[in-house]
Structure 1
Amino acid sequence: MPYGLSVIVLAALLLPWGGAARGEVPEHLQVSRLLVTLPDSCPTPDGLAIDPDGNLVVACPNFADPSKPACLVKVTPELEVKHWFNFPTLAETGRAAPMGIAFDADGDLYVADNQNWTTGNGQHGEINQGRLLRMRVRHDGTIEKMTVIAHSISHPNGVRVRDGHVYVTVSLMPKVKRDDGLLTSSVYRFRVDDQNIALSNTLEDKNLLATFVTTNRDCQYGADGLDFDSRGNLFVGNFGDGALHKITFDDQGNVTGNTIFAKTDFDTPMDHPRFQEKMVHAKMRSVDGIWIDENDHIYVADFSNNAVARVDPKGNITVLAQSPDTDGADGGLDQPGDPIIWNGKLVVSCFDVVTGKDKVNTGHEAPHTLAYIPLE
């Protein structure tokens, strides 16, 4: 999900760039609309999932305002927003950072707790406090039990559950060094009943499923959103490269392929004098959260471009909707983080935190919103 490498984020927050080009977007696109305005307790909406009762659940790590406890909220089918619970903090840090979320068939909730989104992983990748959690949810919605599936994770982000396993993207693996200096990221796979697995965040981890290299040196942030198609293929977004990877399996669940399925048409370096003018006309410049529908169309939150794209089963990319720099009050896409189809609408969380020369977003501000795009 969102671009969170701490050094880059902190520099971006302190050094926002302007530019008239951020007010320009391609014409003839759909117009996103406001679904709900979230309360002040949720200034950073991120991961989305649908609970067994049909409510839309929103994970709020609240990076924009650390004084607000990280929490989860529910949006009912009648569009009433309800606080669900404050997320349990990690004792050694006093923090909680729920990002990617997913429910299994029994209604248990799986959460990527990205502890080091704001702190970074240290100069040598030595600080790794992220967790993958399973929460047993009672029928009345209260949490009966929390289990740590895995811990000591460098940068857990997106989550999906399928066939008794839980998959999590790890967007940064700073311990993995390459001669070319490029970033490695990954997907890990665990059994849903695994407990207290400690990761080394290296290529030696037995639960490591697949790795990716981000070649865009202007945006070194890797695996983010993920989802399965109707045939059981796993698609993973490589955020910085604006690419979707397709991972295939044999009948025993072993990986048989890891290929680029679709990739942005944008290749202008950030030091180009017309970079900001060109960037807003790109297709799928970044890949944050993704959602795959029953027809295997992939919906992509283009976080950096304030846009949402759709990729068809042949890999063709279409930009559905896009916004200039906005506060989201009118339903504009204010740094879309995670898409989901809910009650006939393509709903998107608006993260609204990260700034920088390559981001359309120039600052965090109220309101805190979920937007939607009508499905045609």
Structure 2
Amino acid sequence: MELAILKQVIVGLVDGRREQLADVAEQLFRFSEPGLEEYRSSALLADILEKEGFRLERGVAGLDTAFRAVFGSDGPTVAILAEMDALPGLGHACGHNVIAAAATGAAIALRHAVPDGEARIVVLGTPAEELGIGKVELVKAGIFQGVDAAIMVHPSSRRLVIKHYLGLARVRFTFFGRPAHAAAYPEEGVNALDGVIQTFNGINALRQQLRQDVRVHGIITDGGVAPNIIPAMAACHFYVRATDLHEVGRVRERVIACAEGAARATGCRLEVALDERVLAPLKVNHTLSALYSEQLAYLGLTEAAAPADKNLGSSDIGNVSQIVPTIHPHVPIGPGLHIHTEDFARATVSEQGRQAVVEGATAMALTAAELIARPELRKKMWDEFTSS
């Protein structure tokens, strides 16, 4: 089939399933399951793909809610990523219901449009993005071996093809002191909460000497049980972010030093717990990104004129981008919205949210179709990837 005709077929296939895809997004919105608990969400997506002829592996990479759905056995392999977890208390305020519905639509369109034997279409159900776990474990398990490109979309207030992401490391501090009556025998106590507070004070002083791209933020997870009892144990949890992993590691060591100093100053014993699942920055592949931009132009859609390096967060998609060419474009669900808010969650099932599902599914399927049909483009993409 000629590429031009194939692209027309894909547009029609996605448009014909518009209501089905919107229903998928709305069902996921109602489920709103947090990371590693996406049992109904995972089953919904996997069951749909299985009925469409995809071969299903459930519980991959040791994660109950992760899955791999494969159609075809020969040709270039394109992985389409379907995030599905929600935020505790906020539901789908990061729009993973839109992501999963768009991924499902793109995969189904490709399955019916691309001739047998010309490609291998893989849908990966990737749980617990908000916990920074799902894709990290899939990478460690070798799930991306043999994949030529990984693609997904994310809802946003604007249509963007390239958006940078920060590397991220997590560290927890637990301080142990000695309890005492806070009024009658304060001299007998060692206040673990003081250790936590001094850690925050030390980090706040450290901020004066941090690079502009660095972010350090944390919460107190345990601060004691009553005001009249000097806390015997207190704990806090910090994220350290930067545009490169070297700086993430360097700053994390300085944050640890703040906690160690606080422990010494207050007389507490300190336990440090480092999360080994460090999130990598997104490695941008300009060849693959440009191909997605071409599909937007084909659909008559205009990219927003917004910088790619502002208002940055982190995601485990960065870990995928370090081992295979990856794109993570943004599809618009409404102007002026910010992720992780109730307004954003509601917008995912609005009319604009429904349109974002269709846009994401169509643009991803068109991008994959061109990549499958053009070996010279795949070579250019990988040449860029290996040289950068």
Q: TM bucket by the smaller chain?
A: under 0.3
Bigger relative contact order (CA 8 A; separation at least 6):
2
Higher helix proportion, which one? 2
Q: Bigger radius of gyration, 1 or 2?
A: 2
Q: TM-score, normalised by structure 1?
A: 0.27
Higher strand proportion, which one? 1
